[in-house]
């Protein structure tokens, strides 16, 4: 079992990360595992993305000088384009970082969470006994995800707005704030808030 705190990572001094989870998709609403499947935003998700741009415009006048980085998955890219449009910035002018793609759920992708106890009781039991270390067939564990996201966090050199995913948000907080691994998979990941991370502290905005 994977216990204890993850390897602690620190952002470089003075850097602030605004981490956005992509807007809602129909699969989110259905509690269907997405992982690295390319699923578009629904109407709620589009509105959430517009909200992120409005909020950033109101609190960070210098945001145009930040780095903007997105996961390559469609729902994150859509969220980034809309967010930048609301900020009055070129919607296409941002970087793509495969390291902040969502956790791969392997053979669980496309499955409804409610149906998995009957379809894959062994997998459900494995995930329940070790939520951080369990790895689906052809997929990743939270521990795997922690390694690639931590490496990305350590490389940031300037204030950054990033659009990513629920799993990435969880392990980023775990790594930067020293949260116990057993708690990390259950951290909240709202799609209508921006997570501000700086100096070992976090704030939802």
CA 177 to CA 52: how far, in whole Å?
23
The stretch 6-12 carries a mean pLDDT of: 81
Query: What 3-state DSSP class applies to 97?
Result: coil
Active-site choice (102, 109, 140, 146): 102
165 a catalytic residue: no
Is residue 4 pLDDT above 90, yes or no? no
The stretch 93-114 carries a mean pLDDT of: 97
The stretch 34-62 carries a mean pLDDT of: 96
Mean pLDDT value across the chain: 95
102 a catalytic residue: yes
What was the pLDDT predicted at 18?
A: 98
Ordered strands of the 160-164 beta sheet = 95-96, 67-70, 160-164, 16-21, 194-198, 201-204
CA 144 to CA 85: how far, in whole Å?
33
The stretch 124-152 carries a mean pLDDT of: 96
Q: What is the pLDDT of residues 144-195, one digit of tens each?
A: 999 999 999 999 999 999 999 999 999 999 999 999 999 999 999 999 999 9
């Amino acid at each position: 079992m994977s216990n204890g705190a993850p390897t602690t990572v620190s952002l470089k001094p003075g850097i602030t990360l605004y981490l956005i989870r992509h807007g809602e998709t129909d699969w989110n609403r259905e509690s269907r595992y997405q992982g690295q499947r390319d699923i578009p935003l629904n109407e709620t998700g589009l509105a959430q993305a517009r909200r992120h741009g409005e909020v950033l415009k109101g609190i960070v006048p210098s945001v145009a000088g930040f780095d903007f980085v997105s996961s390559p998955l469609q729902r994150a890219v859509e969220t980034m384009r809309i967010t930048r449009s609301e900020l009055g910035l070129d919607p296409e002018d941002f970087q793509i970082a495969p390291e902040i793609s969502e956790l791969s759920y392997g053979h669980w992708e496309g499955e409804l969470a409610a149906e998995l106890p009957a379809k894959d009781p062994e997998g459900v039991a494995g995930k329940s006994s070790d939520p951080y270390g369990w790895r689906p067939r052809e997929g990743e564990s939270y521990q795997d995800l922690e390694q690639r996201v931590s490496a990305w966090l350590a490389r940031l050199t300037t204030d950054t707005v990033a659009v990513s995913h629920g799993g990435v948000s969880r392990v980023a907080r775990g790594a930067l704030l020293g949260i116990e691994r057993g708690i990390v998979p259950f951290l909240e990941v709202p799609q209508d808030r921006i997570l501000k991370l700086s100096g070992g502290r976090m704030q939802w905005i």
